[in-house]
C-alpha cells in the first residue's frame, strides 16, 4: 500500500486563462505588450497569496523555493553541452538566462526568508502598479498619470489610471485604489 504524500502545492496564482483574451484586448487598445502584463498580473496574485500566509508558512514556502532554484541551477550547471543544445533546439529556451534568473530568484527568496520578521509586508497592488508603470514607459508611452478629480474625493482619472483599471477589470480582479496608483506614480515625476 502506498502512502500518499501531502499536497504542498499552492493553488494557481496565474491569471485565469479565460480572462487572457480580454486582457490582451485592453493591452492592444493601449499599445502595451500583453505578455508582460499577463505575467505581472500572475506575479501580483502570487505575492498576494504569499503575503496572506502566516509567517511560518511564508518562511517554509520561500525556503522550498530557494532550495528548488538551487537544485535546478546545479543540474543545469552539470548538464553537458550536447544535452543543453538538444533542450535549446527542442524548446527554444535560453538555459543560460534561465540559470541566471533562477540564481537571482534563489537569492531573493533567501533574502526574504531571512528578513521576514523585520520587513514590512509587501503590498501586491503597489508592486503591480510600479511594474505596470515601467512597462508603460518601456512601451514608449508618455509619463504615466493618475489624478484626483476635483468633483469627488474618490474619483480619479488619467490615461495610465484608466489602463490599470481596465486591465484589472478585464482580469476580473479588484483594481488598486486611485490613491495607491497616484502615490506610486510620484516617483516618476
Regarding pTM above 0.75, the answer is no
Contact in structure between 41 and 23 (CB atoms under 8 Å): yes
157 lies in the same domain as 144 = yes
Sorting pLDDT into bands at 50, 70 and 90, what band is 43? Answer: confident
User: Is residue 32 in a domain?
Assistant: yes
Domain count of the fold of the chain: 2
d(CA 48, CA 4): 29
The H or E element that residue 156 is part of is strand 156-157
Residue 140: inside a domain:
yes
Q: What is the tens place of the pLDDT at every residue in 94-129?
A: 888 788 778 777 877 887 777 766 666 788 999 999
Q: What is the SS3 assignment for 148? A: strand
HSE-CB at 166 with a 13 A cutoff on CA atoms is 18
pLDDT tens digits, one per residue of 47-98: 888 888 888 888 888 888 888 888 888 888 898 889 888 888 888 888 887 8
Residues 155 and 179 in one domain: yes
- pLDDT category of residue 14 using cuts at 50, 70 and 90: low
Residue 164 and residue 107 share a domain: no
**113 within 8 A of 66, measured Cβ to Cβ:** yes
Residue 111 and residue 134 in one domain: no
Same domain, 116 and 129: no
User: Where does the pLDDT of residue 12 fall: very low under 50, low under 70, confident under 90, or very high at 90 and above?
Assistant: very low
Helix, strand, or coil here: 62?
helix
Which of 63, 93, 120 is where one domain is finished? 120
- Judge if 29 and 109 occupy the same domain: no
> Over the stretch 130-189, which tens digit does the pLDDT of each residue have?
999 999 999 999 899 999 888 777 789 999 999 999 999 999 999 999 999 999 999 877
- Residues 124, 127: Cα–Cα separation, whole Å: 5
Enclosing domain of residue 136: 14-51+123-189
**Cα-to-chain-centroid distance, residue 125:** 10
Element (H, E) at 147: strand 147-148
Same domain assignment for residues 64 and 94: yes
Q: Taking the CA atoms of the chain, what radius of gyration do you get in angstroms?
A: 20
- Asked if 129 and 155 sit in the same domain, the reply is yes
Amino acid at each position: 500500500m502506498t502512502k500518499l504524500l501531502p499536497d504542498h502545492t499552492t493553488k494557481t496564482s496565474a491569471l485565469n486563462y479565460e480572462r487572457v483574451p480580454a486582457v490582451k484586448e485592453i493591452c492592444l487598445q493601449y499599445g502595451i505588450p500583453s505578455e508582460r502584463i499577463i505575467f505581472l498580473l500572475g506575479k501580483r496574485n502570487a505575492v498576494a497569496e504569499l503575503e496572506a500566509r502566516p509567517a511560518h508558512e511564508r518562511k517554509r514556502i520561500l525556503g522550498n523555493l530557494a532550495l528548488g532554484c538551487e537544485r535546478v541551477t546545479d543540474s543545469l550547471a552539470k548538464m553537458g553541452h550536447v544535452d543543453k543544445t538538444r533542450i535549446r533546439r527542442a524548446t527554444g529556451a535560453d538555459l543560460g538566462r534561465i540559470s541566471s534568473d533562477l540564481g537571482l530568484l534563489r537569492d531573493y527568496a533567501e533574502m526574504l526568508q531571512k528578513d521576514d520578521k523585520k520587513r514590512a509586508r509587501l503590498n501586491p497592488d503597489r508592486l503591480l502598479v510600479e511594474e505596470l508603470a515601467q512597462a508603460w514607459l518601456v512601451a514608449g508611452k508618455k509619463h504615466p498619470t493618475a489624478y484626483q478629480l476635483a468633483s469627488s474625493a474618490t474619483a480619479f482619472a488619467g490615461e495610465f489610471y484608466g489602463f490599470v483599471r481596465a486591465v484589472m477589470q478585464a482580469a476580473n480582479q479588484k483594481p488598486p485604489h486611485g490613491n495607491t496608483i497616484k502615490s506610486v506614480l510620484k516617483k516618476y515625476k
